[in-house]
């Protein structure tokens, strides 16, 4: 029986205040709290609350036949817990249905696996515990920040007890094979690999309201017809996208909520099809083969690699200097300093420094609060300089 697996990423970075050279040594609060609150409130009203209520109605209407999955970054959870408990309660209601899986990731939405195995493991375990305590679920599926993936990452996830891992279904690793099957990562025999169908996912996430698209307007019936053409019995069509697609990136006026409201009925109209969560899909199907991915891939940009975060000298310099502070941070045994260091690891800070202004330029500009990547780099490095000085002062017994 073919399955449809819908997964939503929920993430809101902790945006940094504008921080000049003259603030170094003077200002030690790095968060732009007002901007973070403003954006969270906007996204909560446009996406999290209405989309969550709609998903809950669909689960109830279809008697549990409709199922979805979420990964809430620890950075988003921090803000939601502190500032929007109504949003958290909505996710908890979804969890209580038994039809929603909550996936584990790095707690800081970080690139830690690329720089510090110890920090990576600690963040994953922290996120696992938060999912357990907030939603009553034991994590069975793992996804790395921005769907970053490699053989080594899969091996680490399997060692930590996960049974499924998510990645981008790029031709780099698939060749001519289909993304709509379950695979084994190279070297793994317990962990199953689910690959994002990026064409079908991006039809909703990016092209839904694009009037010059040949398939505009996209209706639920048309989309379901495309899915129904995938006839292989063991097929799993993985539709992975940002949750903010619903109401924020694609505004209510585009018809995105009407599309979602009609989609389960149109898909289930074909009796051979069902919905499954990632963990359910991994358990239900045998692996069709092995996928070898010696280098890193991701779901970002046309390259589907890590260059959106580490592709230029500024990004590499910032990441190198950040992770060089790990030993000093840990020696302080100060939870406040550790929390700040982890906040500075969030991948968005490096994304803002990206200089890829060609085919993917519009995407980077949309998500970038800075006038230029160079401004983002200078702002970040000023903060990192102050943080580094603070570590030196606390090591001498001084207080900030």
Which residue numbers are catalytic? 146
Instruction: Determine the 3-state secondary structure of 350 from DSSP.
Output: helix
Instruction: Determine the 3-state secondary structure of 57 from DSSP.
Output: helix
- Reference 250, options 43, 13, 80, 4; nearest CA is 43
Half-sphere exposure of 14 (CA within 13 A, CB side): 26
User: The tokens 């034991």 sit on which residue?
Assistant: 138
Residues in the chain: 400
Burial class, 399, CB count within 10 angstroms (exposed 0-12 / middle 13-18 / buried 19+): exposed
Residue 292: CB atoms within 10 Å: 9
- How far is Cα 2 from Cα 235, in angstroms, rounded to an integer? 5
- What is the bridge-based pairing of β-strands 3-10 and 68-72? parallel
Burial class, 17, CB count within 10 angstroms (exposed 0-12 / middle 13-18 / buried 19+): middle
Go through 268-286 and write b for each residue having 16 or more CB atoms within 10 A of its CB, e for each that does not: beeeebbbbbbbbbbeebe
Q: Which two tokens stand for residue 172?
A: 């780099």
Q: Phi/psi class of residue 304: alpha, beta or left (left: φ > 0; alpha: ψ in -120 to 50)?
A: left
Secondary structure (H, E, C), 249-272: CEEHHHCHHHHHHHHHHHHHCCCC
Decide if 302 contacts 359 (C-beta within 8 A): yes
């Amino acid at each position: 029986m073919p399955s449809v697996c819908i997964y939503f990423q929920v993430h809101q970075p902790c945006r940094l205040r504008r921080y000049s050279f003259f603030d170094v040594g003077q200002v030690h609060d790095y968060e732009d709290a007002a901007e973070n609150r403003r954006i969270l409130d906007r996204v909560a009203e446009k996406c999290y609350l209405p989309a969550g209520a709609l998903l809950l109605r669909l689960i109830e209407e279809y008697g549990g036949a409709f199922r979805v999955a979420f990964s809430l970054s620890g950075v988003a959870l921090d803000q939601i817990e502190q500032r929007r408990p109504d949003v958290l309660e909505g996710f908890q209601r979804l969890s209580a249905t038994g039809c929603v899986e909550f996936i584990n990731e790095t707690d800081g939405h970080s690139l830690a696996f690329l720089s510090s195995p110890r920090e990576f493991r600690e963040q994953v375990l922290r996120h696992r515990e938060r999912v357990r305590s907030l939603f009553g679920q034991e994590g069975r599926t793992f996804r790395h920040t921005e769907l970053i993936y490699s053989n080594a990452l899969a091996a680490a996830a399997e060692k930590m007890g996960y049974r499924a891992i998510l990645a981008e279904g790029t031709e780099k690793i698939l060749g001519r094979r289909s993304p709509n099957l379950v695979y084994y990562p190279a070297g793994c025999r317990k962990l199953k690999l689910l690959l994002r169908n990026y064409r079908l996912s991006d039809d909703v996430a990016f092209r839904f309201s694009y009037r010059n698209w040949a398939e505009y307007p996209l209706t639920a019936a048309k989309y379901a017809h495309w899915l129904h053409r995938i006839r292989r019995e063991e097929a799993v069509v993985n539709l992975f996208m940002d949750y903010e697609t619903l109401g924020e990136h694609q505004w209510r006026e585009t018809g995105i909520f009407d599309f979602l409201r009609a989609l389960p009925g149109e898909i289930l109209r074909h009796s051979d099809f069902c919905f499954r969560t990632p963990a359910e899909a991994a358990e239900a199907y045998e692996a069709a083969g092995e996928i070898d991915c010696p280098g890193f891939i991701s779901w970002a940009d046309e390259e589907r690699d890590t260059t959106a975060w580490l592709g230029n000298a500024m990004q590499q310099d910032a990441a190198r200097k950040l992770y060089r502070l790990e030993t000093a941070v840990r020696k302080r045994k100060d939870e406040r300093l550790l929390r700040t260091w982890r906040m500075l690891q969030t991948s968005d800070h490096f994304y803002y420094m990206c200089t890829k202004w060609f085919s993917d330029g519009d995407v980077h500009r949309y998500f970038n609060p800075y006038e230029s990547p160079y401004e983002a780099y200078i702002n970040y490095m000023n903060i990192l300089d102050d943080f580094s000085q603070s570590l030196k002062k606390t090591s001498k017994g001084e207080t900030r």
